[in-house]
Amino acid sequence: MGAVLDHSQTRWRAVLTTPNLPAVWAGLRSGLGIVVRMDHGRPEDLACVGAELDLPDLPNIDVRLLRAPKLSRFAERLARVLREETLRHLGPAESQHGKR
């Protein structure tokens, strides 16, 4: 996000850096700023903003499922469920490797 804002010559500064998601939500609720995240899992009391803030468009991201060549039946099932749920929430897209 910083590179996108820099490229668009938008002034910004980091006010909270944490790997703790509840801390991110608390920072947003207290008005510290905005965050770039997928909409999935967003608390209902936090608004999803769009063009109304006149921010530059963000680039697309790749979502990948990495796995070992050989998996147990449980791991195969888990990989299938993760793939299905990801496609259900995000929709299919062609990757740079031509696979879905």
Long-range residue pairs from 90-95, CB within 8 A, at least 24 positions apart, any chain: 90/38, 90/63, 93/60, 95/62
Give pTM, 2 decimals.
0.61
Q: Give residue-wise pLDDT tens across range 49-87.
A: 877 888 888 888 888 889 999 999 999 999 999 999 988
Q: What is the DSSP letter of 51?
A: G
What is the CB neighbour count within 10 angstroms for residue 87? 13
**Neighbouring C-alpha atoms within 13 Å toward the C-beta of 93:** 11
Domain boundaries along the sequence of the chain: 1-59, 61-100
